Amino acid sequence: MTDLVGDPAIVLAGVRKSYGRTLAVRNLSLEVPRGELFAFLGPNGAGKTTTIKMIVGLLRPDEGYVRVCGLAIGSNGVAAKARLAYVPDQPFIYDKLTGREFLYFVAEMFGITTQHRDRKLNTLIRRLDIGEFLDHLTESYSHGMKQKVVLAAALLHEPAVLVVDEPMVGLDPRTVRSVKDLFTEHTRGGGTVFMSTHTLEIAETLADRIGIIHRGELIAVGTLNQLKTQARREHSLEDVFLQLTEVGDEGVSDG
Amino acid sequence: MDENPALDAAGAKLGLLFAVRGQTVANRITQAVRDAPLRLAAAVLLIGLIWMGLYGLFRLVFVQLSRTPLEATVAIPLVFNFFFVAMLALLTFSNAIIAYGALFGKAESPYLLTLPIAPLDVVTFKYLECLVLSSWSLILLGLPMMFAMAATSEEPMFYLFFLAFFLAFIPIPGAIGLLLAWGVARFFPRRATRAVTLATALALVVVIVTALRSMQPGETATEVWLRAFLTRMSFVQSAMLPNNWVAAGIDHALHGQFPVSFRYLGVTLANAFFLSWIAVRLVSGYFDGAYDRASSGRGGGRRLAAEASGGPAGWVFFYLPLPLRLIAAKDLRTFFRDPAQWSQLTILFGLLVLYLTNMPTLRLEFSASGWFLFIPFLNLCAVSLILATFTCRFVFPLMSLEGQKLWLMGVLPLPRGRVLLAKFAFSMTVTVLVAVGAMSLAAFMLNLDMVWTAIHLVVTMSICFGLCGFSVGIGARLPMFGQNNVARIASGLGGTTNLLASVALVAIVLTGVGLATWQSKYLAANTLPDARSLILCAVAALVAIVAGVMALRVGAKHFNRVEV
């Protein structure tokens, strides 16, 4: 796939988004380079999902712009989306398709050849342990089973940028380990993972950099050590997160 | 990564979308044949019966008309004109609703938007799917009409022309509907449901008022009236309207004038293609923006709705013990905050009220003829059927929806069976207030005497009791837990059972009241009905109440031991 190799995987520049009178994201600027696993943290309603939806092209920023691999998601959407994969917190699968039929559909949608699809799919079936139910209709799947199939669909075309919203919810510990390994391998292979999560332990152990959004504002970005320095905390990411978002609260109420 | 260059070809992804939809339909049919063959057979049988019934009805009309060639020449094109103008309105509306859900809903559309597909492919796919989904009713109604028509015609080519006109006509309302759906998402993102509801209500009011105005006082069903009526409705036959092209084309085909018919077919097809092209191009060109506005605009107006419904919800159920009152008040708040519920009830009864208040313009001189009871009886029929529609559509799903929060009910200090009572109290209160109000207005407008007014009100209340009992009881006995979609719950096995039971109950009760009405037809106004009529009405009311109680008991028994 032709790619603008020199450009960062994700660029958000001066992005603002509101829902009616509610300002969900304000003046958000962020660059995520290729090969990085970026963890996006924030309290409920902070603007994480809105930001993710703007990255994948579901929402348009009121101000600013979003680029994926150098391509504007607004004006060059199809080309940008060909380099993207998105796993939402509530995954969508056609309930009257089997998991395998769904994965074949996704493979065809991204133009993957049959040979490559079968090779990649065999690996994913083994790694995510989905072989047992893959030929059943997806309407019979539990949340965790759906999540696994959607993850397989996202990784099938080896996207340059993988955007995931709460990827570990509903997964058993063994699959959580597999997903962690798959994400790490993906970034080692030059891919980028942009992950929103409330599970701080995962962010702490996996992420190259962490961003914290609070009330629509990106209040901190950096490695774990940089965030600890910023928060003047020596302990866990949990302490850092609580300290920074508490300061954010004070800032807002003072303001 | 290896890539398949064939997919870069234009339309390749559109084909893929159709292929995946075809696969889901095939899987659905396989599943239905394997898991519920009886249900499938019953559905096919019912559709067959509906078709046969419609065929019989249309054939009767056309045979009757063909006996008098002069009237047939005037009336048959007129029948088609009215049929297709009605279809134009209905299909535009249903296409708008379906297209809005398909393009701006929360299920498939957001998923497709994250895939590398051009908006033109997505909109084209959704548009064609909407045409199929919305036009099955036209096919259902139209094919029996076509066969009935053909049975009175000797032209074998007629079938082909009729079908061609049908297929050529369908995209016209489809394209208008698509544009309307896009317009609502683009310009009324925060009040989409309300905007569609108000537009529909307004359109219906205009239609009803136009129809009522066409029946001027003093005119009776004579040739003069018919001529005046046709003159007033002549706008329907405007040469600029597609219903006229289709009606004229079919009429010419019926008389073997195929070249003229072909010309009309060409006009219809050209307009259908042109409108579709404009609609799909426009909507796909601005699809991302409209989707963004529809998604960003959701969630407004909640505060006002909460204040408006919070007050009445507290005191309407004053007669219930506190735990039941809380559940019923919660359901009333939900009712007020869901425009789909209150708007449908408002539209149905609003139209009824409009009709009732316009009844004096009809100048029906029934009081002098001894048939003064039949119009109130027909009003009772209308109110009962509207009630049945409402309870089947909105009351029946209540128990299924509650089942998803059964854990909450389980931890409350309240016997589970009493939840049914709260649901029953809620639905009974809403339906009685609305139905008794409408029937009282009907009695007042017709100057109905006190005894018959009282009889109709008691029967109305008993029908409310029976229908609410059925919907809550059967809703608890045959629930569809795990389903959030109210429409799917209402159209499932339990919903269909409830619909059939409700219609049967209404038919039984109305038969009783109808017999009493028939018995009293020669009575003068303000004369007491005889004992037999009173007993018939009392038995009818009692049947409704007993049936409601039995359904509630069956439902409560099952609901007490259900595990989710």
Give yes or no: residues A198 and A210 share one domain.
Answer: yes
Is A130 within the bounds of a domain? yes
pLDDT, position B279: 96
Which range of B155-169, B252-266, B475-489 scores highest in mean pLDDT? It is: B252-266
The confidence band for B563, taking pLDDT boundaries of 50, 70 and 90, is low
Give the mean model confidence (pLDDT) for residues A100-109: 94
Instruction: Round to whole Å and give the CA distance between B1 and A157.
Output: 8
Interchain CB contact of B296 with A (< 8 Å): yes
For B424-466, the pLDDT digits (tens) are: 998 998 899 889 988 888 888 877 888 888 999 999 999 999 9
pLDDT, position A252: 41
Query: Does B7 have pLDDT greater than 80?
Result: no
Interchain CB contact of B8 with A (< 8 Å): yes
Is A254 within the bounds of a domain? yes
Higher per-residue confidence, B285 vs A4: B285
pLDDT, position B137: 67
Tracing tokens 């060059």 back to the chain, one arrives at A76
Query: Does A60 have pLDDT greater than 80?
Result: yes
pLDDT, position A122: 94
pLDDT, position B25: 93
Interchain CB contact of A105 with B (< 8 Å): yes
Interchain pair B114, A74: CB under 8 A: no
Give A97's Cβ-side CA count (13 Å radius): 19
pLDDT, position A202: 87
The confidence band for B306, taking pLDDT boundaries of 50, 70 and 90, is very low
Total tally of structural domains belonging to chain A: 2
Name the residue of chain A whose CA is nearest to B25's CA: A96
Is A180 within the bounds of a domain? no
Mean pLDDT is lowest, of A59-73, B85-99, B184-198, for: B184-198
Interchain CB contact of B300 with A (< 8 Å): yes
Query: Does B471 have pLDDT greater than 90?
Result: yes
Interchain CB contact of B264 with A (< 8 Å): no
Give yes or no: residues A207 and A145 share one domain.
Answer: no
Q: C-alpha distances in angstroms, B514 versus A242, B243, B538? A: 73, 39, 12
Task: Say which residues have a Cβ less than 8 Å from residue A24's Cβ, sequence separation at least 6.
Answer: A17, A18, A47, A50, A216
Mean pLDDT, all residues of chain B: 80
Domain extent at residue A2:
1-83+159-170+185-255
Interchain pair B296, A112: CB under 8 A: no
Query: Does B539 have pLDDT greater than 90?
Result: yes
pLDDT, position B190: 66
Collapse the DSSP code of B515 into the 3-class scheme (helix H, G, I; strand E, B; otherwise coil) and give the result.
helix
The confidence band for B191, taking pLDDT boundaries of 50, 70 and 90, is low
Number of residues that this document lists for chain A: 255
Interchain pair B114, A17: CB under 8 A: no
pLDDT, position B554: 93
Give the mean model confidence (pLDDT) for residues B231-239: 72
Structure-block tokens of residue A56: 């994948």
The confidence band for B382, taking pLDDT boundaries of 50, 70 and 90, is confident
Interchain pair B295, A59: CB under 8 A: yes
Give yes or no: residues A44 and A164 share one domain.
Answer: yes
Give yes or no: residues A224 and A251 share one domain.
Answer: yes
pLDDT, position B5: 46
Is A177 within the bounds of a domain? no
The confidence band for B256, taking pLDDT boundaries of 50, 70 and 90, is confident
Interchain CB contact of A189 with B (< 8 Å): no
Give yes or no: residues A76 and A102 share one domain.
Answer: no
Higher per-residue confidence, B249 vs B526: B249
The confidence band for B369, taking pLDDT boundaries of 50, 70 and 90, is low
CB B134 within 8 A of CB B180: no
In the sheet that A37-41 helps form, which strands lie side by side, from edge to edge?
A84-87, A161-165, A192-196, A37-41, A209-214, A217-222
Task: Say which residues have a Cβ less than 8 Å from residue B482's Cβ, sequence separation at least 6.
Answer: B403, B404
Q: Which residues of A touch B113 (CB under 8 A)?
A: 57-58
pLDDT, position A1: 44
The confidence band for A21, taking pLDDT boundaries of 50, 70 and 90, is confident
Q: Which residues of A touch B1 (CB under 8 A)?
A: 1, 112, 116, 157-158
Name the residue of chain B whose CA is nearest to A20's CA: B297
Query: Does B562 have pLDDT greater than 80?
Result: no
Instruction: Round to whole Å and give the CA distance between B245 and B152.
Output: 22
Q: How far is A7 from chain B (nearest CA, A)?
A: 20
pLDDT, position B85: 84
Give the mean model confidence (pLDDT) for residues A43-72: 93
Collapse the DSSP code of A129 into the 3-class scheme (helix H, G, I; strand E, B; otherwise coil) and give the result.
coil
CB B375 within 8 A of CB B364: yes
Interchain CB contact of B35 with A (< 8 Å): no
For B89-110, the pLDDT digits (tens) are: 888 888 888 898 889 887 788 9
pLDDT, position A10: 95
Mean pLDDT is lowest, of A78-87, A169-178, B152-161, for: B152-161
Interchain CB contact of B22 with A (< 8 Å): no
Give the mean model confidence (pLDDT) for residues B242-271: 89
Which range of A51-65, B321-335, B481-495 scores highest in mean pLDDT? It is: A51-65
The confidence band for B370, taking pLDDT boundaries of 50, 70 and 90, is low
Q: Which residues of B touch A109 (CB under 8 A)?
A: 13, 16, 115-117
Residue A246 maps to which CATH number?
3.40.50.300
pLDDT, position B112: 92
Interchain CB contact of A3 with B (< 8 Å): no
Query: Does B321 have pLDDT greater than 60?
Result: yes
pLDDT, position B162: 81
Interchain CB contact of A138 with B (< 8 Å): no
pLDDT, position B541: 94
Give yes or no: residues A1 and A45 share one domain.
Answer: yes
Give yes or no: residues A217 and A141 share one domain.
Answer: no
Is A175 within the bounds of a domain? no
Question: What letter represents residue B127's amino acid?
Answer: Y
Interchain pair A96, B27: CB under 8 A: yes
The answer to pTM > 0.95 is no
Instruction: Round to whole Å and give the CA distance between B346 and B202.
Output: 12
Collapse the DSSP code of B147 into the 3-class scheme (helix H, G, I; strand E, B; otherwise coil) and give the result.
helix
Is A176 within the bounds of a domain? no
Tracing tokens 């209160």 back to the chain, one arrives at B429
Give yes or no: residues A49 and A146 share one domain.
Answer: no
Higher per-residue confidence, B465 vs B484: B465
Give yes or no: residues A208 and A130 share one domain.
Answer: no
